[in-house]
Chain A
Amino acid sequence: MSEKDLKNKKSDVAVDEDKRDFLFVTTAGLAVAGSALTVFSLIDTMNPAKDVLALSTTEVDLSPVEEGQSLTVMWRGKPIFIRHRTDSEISDASNVSVDELPHMASDESRVKNPKWLVVVGVCTHLGCVPLGQKIGDNKGEYGGWFCPCHGSHYDTSGRVRKGPAPLNLEIPPYEFVTDDIIKIG
């Protein structure tokens, strides 16, 4: 724009710098806040939806599971291992000195009723489903579970004993609704 044009402008009044800064900051501030809220709302659509969250509790009837047997149920799309432990499995699990474990935890701290072990059947290494639920499966060196992916061994309390997995099998939140029914989630 040429000098002449500028002079021809209606207002020759000096620019009020403070006013201009104020307008700039408020405008930009509002735009940033608005965009941030919009982006947040849109990204939030990718979080679990209501119907997905509604699937987050599962009730399981334990009565058909005999001692020594296992049951796998689904909870939040993941397998839950439920094992009706024999007396020898319970004693194997509790007669270990906790200090020697890679991820220290006593058996009592991992069960609500020692007869029933309930764990998330997802290897804490990289997420494979360990073997040991079916008859004839390789249960690993400690009689619990064995993960075929990279060779992690879990004991009858679901604790990692050997292999690359860093943590014990996770315990899902659950409670006994009656003696025979548990509610997971």
Chain B
Amino acid sequence: MKENTSEQNKGLTGWIDKRLPVFTFINHNLRDYPTPKNLNYFWNFGSLAGITLVIMIVTGILLAMQYTADTELAFDSVERIMRDVNNGWLLRYIHMNGASMFFIIVFIHIFRGLYYGSYKYPREILWMLGVVILLLMMATAFMGYVLPWGQMSFWGATVITNLFSAFPVVGDYIVTFLWGGFSVDNPTLTRFFVLHYLLPFGIVGVVALHLVALHQFGSNNPTGLDVKSEGDTIPFHPYYTVKDYLGLGVYLIVFAGLVFFAPNFLGHPDNYIPANPLQTPAHIVPEWYFLPFYAILRAVPDKLLGVLLMFAAVMVLFFLPWLDKHKVRSANFRPYYRQFYWLFILDCLVLGWVGAMPAEGVYVLISRVATAYYFGFFLIIMPFLSRFEKTTDLPSSISAAVISEKFDNKEPSSESYVK
């Protein structure tokens, strides 16, 4: 692709660009940036995640201007935001539902990577940085949920911090350290607020690295094939800027629908009851995006093992590039992997559902089976398939795949852009 650097050497922009190449940088990364020409809509979710991060930081900072991190005042300060602050309800509902939207987006983003093998060579570090982002997001969301100091805030904080008490010998010390006292109390709330403010900026930093890593080899694509010639790519602008823009419009409609018509749909009503350290709500559940992990925790009858498995459920993602060493990236060409993959999606949904059910009777059994498949998928099926799975015929290049799909209406090799 020819870069239009020449026109940038003139005028003020040229003068600045020579000394501080910001314009060249933008040009390289958002304009000329050669991008596979066959990306489908699942490739929109990265930019959506980035935009959501910005939305969260902006609304978060504005909320922090009104919020008071003190056990006596926190709940009322949130109610004040809802009632007295100009558009405070809007601000809070955007931030509250934004967290859910963020997780939906990032989960889809991850499942996209899982389907198209985006974690494989040479994108291992890109993928691992993604997992770091996920961990930071989980920590941030958990601490954010504690801030309104309702019943679910308090008891969620108590239960999650108590997870660490499972570790032998040091467990109790860790928990006391986390609390800064002998129960979840004012010191806990204060530090959670500080960290909830701090961590998103850590996420921004890791996202920057994530993008540096991405642009090293460029995006993967639905065929999973490497870019072989210039003909396989198109410039990012205008083709993908406009596609991202369309995706953003649809996304914001969904987001706004949630904010304006069902702002408490994903929340729990008990969190509108002020925290009471003397009374645990009858049925305590975490936010929906933690439910699958919560289900894994409860599936195991042993306290320590349950906690370890729950952490392992995220940590295992770090090892994906080495668990699945199959040469072919895209599941479109891996008939067996593809089936196990959809089963895995189903499994995650089941875990989410059972995590919201009481931990008794048949639910325990279901959660155990689902947990077994969760780990089985990564630790047994993936390594096994990478050795033995035969792939269907691979197209010779991205361009060849695109053309064969558009013009020979024979059996399409990928369903993704036929739809």
Contact: B234 with A1, CB < 8 Å? yes
Q: Would you list which residues of chain B between 160 and 203 have a CB under 8 Å from chain A? A: none
B204 to chain A, nearest CB (A): 19
Chain A residue numbers with a CB within 8 Å of B403 are 5, 8
By beta carbon, the residue of chain A nearest B239 is: A1
Is B349 close to A, CB under 8 A? no
Chain A residue nearest to B246 in the complex (CB): A27
Chain B, residue nearest A9 (CB): B406
Which of B58, B86, B406, B407 touches A44 (beta carbons < 8 Å)? B86
In contact, B37 and A1 (Cβ under 8 angstroms): yes
> Number of B residues contacting the other chain (C-beta, 8 Å)?
21
A 47-65 to B, binary, CB cutoff 8 A, 1 in contact else 0: 1011110000000000000
Q: Does B389 contact A (CB under 8 A)?
A: no
Answer yes or no: B18 CB below 8 A from chain A CBs. no
Cα-based distance from A28 to B37 in the complex (angstroms): 25
CB distance from A34 to the nearest CB of B (A): 8
* A50, B293: Cα distance in complex, Å: 42
A50: chain B residues within 8 A (beta carbon): 83-86
Q: Are the C-beta atoms of B91 and A42 separated by less than 8 Å?
A: yes
Residue A46, interface by CB 8 Å:
yes
Nearest residue in B to A50 (C-beta to C-beta)?
A: B84
Cβ contact of A5, chosen from B59, B80, B86, B231, cutoff 8 A: B231
- A1, A8, A45: the one within 8 Å of B91 (CB): A45
Q: Closest CB of chain B to A20's CB: distance in Å?
A: 12
**B231 to chain A: which residues have CB within 8 Å?**
1-2, 5
CA distance A1 to B84 in the complex (A): 55
A50 shortest CB reach to chain B, Å = 4
How far is A1 from B65 in the complex, measured between Cα atoms in Å?
50
Complex partner residue of B86 from A1, A2, A8, A49, CB under 8 angstroms: A49
Nearest residue (CB) in B for A53 is B84
Q: How far is the CA of A41 from the CA of B58 in the complex (A)?
A: 12
**A9-44 interface (Cβ within 8 A of B):** 41-42, 44
- Closest Cβ of chain B: how far from A38's Cβ, in Å? 9
Most buried by B among A1, A2, A45, A46: A45
| Chain B residues in 8 Å Cβ range of A2 | 231
Evaluate contact between A44 and B84: CB separation under 8 angstroms.
no
Cβ-defined contact, B83 with A45, below 8 A: no
Chain B, range 111-127, C-beta contacts under 8 Å to A: none
Do the beta carbons of B80 and A51 come within 8 Å of each other? yes
Tell me which residues across on chain A come within 8 A of B84, comparing CB atoms: 49-52
Q: Are A46 and B90 in contact (CB under 8 A)?
A: no
Residue from B80, B90, B406 in contact with A49 in the complex, judged by beta carbons closer than 8 Å: B80
Scan residues 39-91 of chain B and give those whose CB is less than 8 A from a CB of chain A: 58-59, 62, 65-66, 80, 83-88, 90-91
Contact B62 A45, beta carbon cutoff 8 Å = yes
Q: With an 8 A cutoff between CB atoms, is B399 at the interface?
A: yes
In whole angstroms, what is the CA distance A44 to B406 when docked? 51
- The reply to whether A45 and B80 form a contact with Cβ atoms under 8 Å apart is no
Return the chain A residue nearest B62 by Cβ.
A45
Q: What residues of chain B lie closer than 8 Å to A46, measured between beta carbons?
A: 62, 65
**A51 surroundings in chain B (CB, below 8 A):** 80, 84
A47, B90: Cα distance in complex, Å: 15
Residues of A close to B58: CB separation below 8 A: 42
Bound complex: CA A44 to CA B84 (Å): 12
Cross-chain contact A42 with B62 (CB below 8 angstroms): yes
What residues of B have a CB within 8 angstroms of the CB of A45 in the complex? 62, 65-66, 85-88, 91
A164→B38 CA distance, assembly (Å): 70
Cα distance A47–B84 in the bound complex, in angstroms: 11
- Given A1-B37, A41-B90, A49–B85 Cβ distance below 8 Å? yes
A8 to chain B: which residues have CB within 8 Å?
403, 406-407
In the complex, the chain A residue whose C-beta lies closest to that of B86 is A44
Q: Which residues of A contact B80 (CB under 8 A)?
A: 49, 51
Q: Kindly identify, within residues 88 to 106 of chain B, every residue whose CB is under 8 Å from any CB belonging to chain A.
A: 88, 90-91
**CA A1 to CA B238, docked complex, whole Å:** 13
In whole angstroms, what is the CA distance A2 to B91 when docked? 47
Q: Is the CB of B88 within 8 A of A5?
A: no
- Chain A residues whose CB sits within 8 angstroms of the CB of B88 once the complex forms: 45, 49
Interface residues of B (CB under 8 A from A): 37, 58-59, 62, 65-66, 80, 83-88, 90-91, 231, 234, 399, 403, 406-407
14 A-B contacts (beta carbon < 8 Å): A1-B37, A1-B234, A2-B231, A8-B407, A41-B90, A42-B90, A45-B62, A45-B66, A45-B87, A45-B91, A46-B62, A49-B84, A49-B88, A50-B83
With A5-B399, A49-B80, A50-B83 already in contact, 10 other A-B pairs whose C-beta atoms are closer than 8 Å: A1-B37, A1-B234, A5-B403, A8-B406, A41-B90, A42-B91, A45-B88, A49-B66, A49-B84, A51-B84
